[in-house]
Structure 1
Amino acid sequence: MPTPRDRWDRAKSHTVRVILEHALLSVTPDRVAEFESAFGQAESIISSMPGFRRLQLSRGHERPNVYLLLVEWDELEDHTEGFRQSSGYQQWKDLLHHFYDPFPVVEHYTPLDVSAL
């Protein structure tokens, strides 16, 4: 029977080579439509960045002013250094950051191939 360590070693060897950025965006409730319009503009900024793969923005059912942002990057540094240190990031901030209350926590994940676990 495989031990937890065996499963962990096998999972590490089957990781998908992509970084998944996750952020819950709490938008001031009376500015939701304005935020969605601004995000439409901001999407073209982030999608032009080196290492960007794709993004998904989803609106909450229970809390319609809360959005789940998922962004796929080739490497962690494509987001933390490439995008965040670019002039495009300043444009992104100018378009979006004033909508958030509170400011979101951004975290990064490495997807696992669960079929190999």
Structure 2
Amino acid sequence: MILEHAELSVTPGREAEFEAAFRSASPIISASPGFRRLLLSRCVERDNVFLLLVEWNSLQDHTEGFRGSPGYQEWRRLLHSFYDPFPVVEHFRPLFIVGPTAPGT
């Protein structure tokens, strides 16, 4: 399992619009082969900052599969105009998990 991490800085004042667009875009990524689950969180201290965590079966499922798909073009159209600056996306391999986990993790 690979965990994609991106801190999303949204242009101030566009947070509600971003959340609505993200809801519209979420079926696109969730239909991608290798997608496991997604968590979008909003920062408590900085209203315009969101944390995106996406679990993939493999790095290639994200970097080649999703990013190389026609769905990604729609994802970009719906979401990329909100970011200032554009986020750095990094991938992590979990070392250990403490606490209850969802089935299949």
TM, length-normalised to structure 2: 0.91
CA separation of 1:49 and 1:62: change in aligned 2, threshold 3 A: same
Does structure 1 residue 44 correspond to structure 2 residue 27? yes
Report the RMSD for the aligned CA atoms in angstroms.
0.9
Paired with 1:92 and 1:114, the residues of 2 have a C-alpha distance of: 30
Structure 2 segments unaligned to the other structure (5+ residues): 99-105
Give the aligned partner of residue 33 of structure 1. Answer: 16
- Could you list the per-position Cα deviations for residues 53-111 of structure 1 after superposition, in whole angstroms to 9, with x for gaps in the alignment? 00000000000100000000000000000000000000000000000000000000000
Give the C-alpha shift of residue 114 in structure 1.
5.8
Does structure 1 residue 73 correspond to structure 2 residue 69? no
Does structure 1 residue 54 correspond to structure 2 residue 37? yes
Aligned residues: 98
Give the C-alpha shift of residue 52 in structure 1.
0.0
**Aligned mate of 2:69, from 58, 75, 86:** 86
Structure 1 segments unaligned to the other structure (5+ residues): 1-17
Give the aligned partner of residue 4 of structure 2. Answer: 21
Paired with 2:48 and 2:37, the residues of 1 have a C-alpha distance of: 22
Give the aligned partner of residue 110 of structure 1. Answer: 93
- Could you list the per-position Cα deviations for residues 31-68 of structure 1 after superposition, in whole angstroms to 9, with x for gaps in the alignment? 00000000001100000000000000000000010000
Letter in 2 for 1:74: N
Runs of 4+ in 1 over 2 A off after TM superposition: none
TM, length-normalised to structure 1: 0.82
More helix by share: 1
